[in-house]
Structure 1
Amino acid sequence: MSPSALPRRPFAGLVLLLGLATGQSALATTVETAHGPVEVGDDPQRVVTLYEGALDAALASGVVPLGAVTTRGGDGVAGYIDDYLAAHHPEAELAIVGVVREINLEAVLAQRPDLILAPPQLADEQYALLSRIAPTVVPLSQGLDPQAWKAESRLYGQALGREAQLETALAEVESRANELAVALDEAEVSGDASLVRWMPQGPLVMSDQLFTTGLMQAAGLRVNDAGLIPGESAHSDPLSLENLGRVDSDWLFLATLNADGQEALEAARTSPAFARLEAVANDRVVAVDGQLWTSASGPLAAQAVLDDIEAALLPR
């Protein structure tokens, strides 16, 4: 069901329904969250994720949630998640319980969850309601930090009772990144790299403090955001094509979120300013999926990003 088809009612209308939510299991563990200690059942069976990083961490630890929110710019989960489910859990059907920053509480309640994995900086009003449905785990916000996703994943793994499985997934990412860095060095592939999200209103240079740019650095690339990121923002203001030259790098990773962004990128490719970029002239422009590269996080997303880097820089 698409998010637009999901019914919405004022929060006050949910109070009676929230009273029907199931209680805690007799066996519980306590996890430290942004809202203080939260007790969760020792083996959650009905999990709903309200954040792409939570969905990724759950799957990486061996748990298939009942519900999830859509990826940014899409009407379902990210393509890499669809691919993972098709390969490992072809029978799984995730209910869509909202979109980014807009959770449908009735849809969440309909799944009768015994655990809700929520995003950092969840609004207090939403937390108050969600926590009446089931124990709700919200990570502490760490601001811009390329390593923050690991702490988030570990918290979700603890809440799921899957710490060991989650640690294995994180160790595999670290090992893979190290191996890729060695392979790139041996192949004498190096240089500066920039990540740009292409939007209809103009290209956005992504910060060097993000999940994906952290992985680029772990693989041995020097990420260049040209100092264009204002304050604690994740990206620059929209740039003109002429100003895009400020982040001209040895490698240019270009991400689009949807068809509009792709059309804008195709139009830009015909402009002289785009053609003058060093990365364009050297055929070192790498088109990547914006839903993965500029929205997702988690162990599975990390492996998919490293796959893209290897395929682009070490083609077979």
Structure 2
Amino acid sequence: MRFAPSFPARRLTTFAAALVAGLAFSATTLAAERTVQTAFGEVKIDGTPSRVVTLGENALDATASLGLKPVGALASRGGTDIPAYLKDKTGTIALVGTVREPNLEAILAQQPDVILAATGLTKEMYEKLSLIAPTVVPVGDSFAPWQDTLRSYAQALNKTEEADKRIAEVDARITELAKRMPADTTVSVVRWNPQGPQIMSSHLFVGALLKSLGLKPNALAETIKDRPHSDILSLENLNKADGDWMFLATLNPEGKKALEDASKQPAFKRLKAAQADQVVSVDGQIWSSSSGYLAAQRILDDVEKTLAK
């Protein structure tokens, strides 16, 4: 005796195909579930986030370098928009506050899948952000290797392979460029604020890049190990920031104006770097505030143009 199937053959085939596709999608989603180690413990994230809010230049650099456009970001340090060097990668992004004060309502309005925050975020703010979306704060501080920070963000974004490729690209470029650097050359990186100059620690992102090229750090910069920069230096003490080459970074028009005025002073003109015409103005958003793959490439561009044989 034969029984007619309860589903026509064509419908049964279609149902089976849909079931297989659904199982495959579930398997992919489950496979993508991962645990990210953060400054505030483990954070579980499913799938590949598509709506990302970044709270800090480093997080924005990382997201852009991994091929994603965030839906929200902070205005840069000393600025009113995201860093200019990232705009060609991200286009216009909704601003959700400043480095000093993220706006929780603006962040919530973007309905993020994940929030990538900078090191140094307070636990109180972290707990509030975590009510909106999984929030990733990398382990460490501003002295942590940029590669570790990028990998942490990449894991949250399900982009670990891409991050490894970006890091390898920078390593390869450093290896090639180091062969073309002048021997026995001391460099200093100075952020010029409206209040005056501060020499940046050589243990930060930029200093580590310069040392990896075989360039020697300024003696004062090398002693600064527990904070990003020195106190404001008077013009009389500016010689402490001297070097064979000086890279002078400004964050805004007020800083540029202060630098222009100071460069006319006798104390500035007595600097070894100034007398040798080896003082270079650079973008402060990159050289004294950001870190990451895109920032590294821009810094290496500046160094190659200035120092490479």
Q: TM-score range by the shorter chain?
A: 0.7 to 0.9
Of 59, 62, 71, 1:57 maps to 62
Give the AA of the match of 2:247. Answer: F
Q: Which residue of 2 aligns with 1:124?
A: 123
Q: Which residue of 2 aligns with 1:88?
A: none
Q: Is the 8 A contact 1:255 1:294 kept in 2?
A: yes
Q: Which residue of 2 aligns with 1:296?
A: 290
Q: What is the correspondence of 1:301-316 to structure 2 with a 5 Å cutoff?
A: 301-314=295-308
C-alpha separation in 1, matches of 2:221 and 2:60: 32
Give the AA of the match of 2:299. Answer: V
Give the AA of the match of 1:44. Answer: P
Pick the structure with greater CA Rg.
2
State the TM-score, normalizing by the size of structure 2.
0.86
Q: Is the 8 A contact 1:207 1:225 kept in 2?
A: no
Q: Which residue of 1 aligns with 2:34?
A: 29
Q: Is the 8 A contact 2:177 2:308 kept in 1?
A: no
Q: Which residue of 1 aligns with 2:237?
A: 243
- For 1:44, what is the secondary structure of its paired residue? coil
C-alpha separation in 2, matches of 1:249 and 1:26: 52
Q: Which residue of 2 aligns with 1:70?
A: 75
- For 2:53, what is the secondary structure of its paired residue? strand
- For 2:106, what is the secondary structure of its paired residue? helix
Task: Name which structure has the greater RCO, CA cutoff 8 Å, separation 6+.
Answer: 1
C-alpha separation in 2, matches of 1:229 and 1:143: 16
Residue 178 of structure 1, CA deviation: 1.5
Residue 228 of structure 1, CA deviation: 8.1
Q: Is the 8 A contact 2:142 2:204 kept in 1?
A: no
Of 251, 254, 257, 2:251 maps to 257
Give the AA of the match of 1:93. Answer: T
Q: What is the correspondence of 1:143-162 to structure 2 with a 5 Å cutoff?
A: 144-145=143-144, 148-162=145-159
C-alpha separation in 2, matches of 1:226 and 1:77: 31
- For 2:75, what is the secondary structure of its paired residue? coil
Q: Which residue of 2 aligns with 1:20?
A: none
Residue 34 of structure 1, CA deviation: 1.2
> Could you give the per-residue CA deviations for residues 241-282 of structure 1, whole angstroms, max 9, x where no partner exists?
121112321001111111111111111111111111111111
Residue 109 of structure 1, CA deviation: 0.5
Q: What is the correspondence of 1:273-288 to structure 2 with a 5 Å cutoff?
A: 273-288=267-282
Change (3 A) 1:189 1:27: closer
- For 1:103, what is the secondary structure of its paired residue? coil
Q: What is the correspondence of 1:148-297 to structure 2 with a 5 Å cutoff?
A: 148-184=145-181, 188=182, 190-226=184-220, 232-297=226-291
Change (3 A) 1:150 1:230: closer
C-alpha separation in 2, matches of 1:100 and 1:94: 15
| RMSD of aligned alpha carbons | 2.0
- For 2:297, what is the secondary structure of its paired residue? helix
Q: Is the 8 A contact 1:228 1:236 kept in 2?
A: no
Q: Is the 8 A contact 2:115 2:135 kept in 1?
A: yes
Question: Does residue 43 of structure 1 match 2:48?
Answer: yes
State the TM-score, normalizing by the size of structure 1.
0.84
Q: Which residue of 2 aligns with 1:133?
A: 132
Q: Which range moved further: 53-62 or 153-162?
A: 53-62
Question: Does residue 97 of structure 1 match 2:91?
Answer: no
C-alpha separation in 2, matches of 1:27 and 1:172: 26
Q: Is the 8 A contact 1:193 1:249 kept in 2?
A: yes
Give the AA of the match of 2:172. Answer: S
> Could you give the per-residue CA deviations for residues 44-79 of structure 1, whole angstroms, max 9, x where no partner exists?
111111111111111111111111111111111111
Q: Structure 2 unaligned segments of length 5 or more: list them.
A: 1-28
- For 1:172, what is the secondary structure of its paired residue? helix
Identity across matched positions, percent: 48
> Could you give the per-residue CA deviations for residues 136-177 of structure 1, whole angstroms, max 9, x where no partner exists?
1111124534xx221111000011000000110011111111
C-alpha separation in 2, matches of 1:226 and 1:242: 15
Give the AA of the match of 2:132. Answer: I
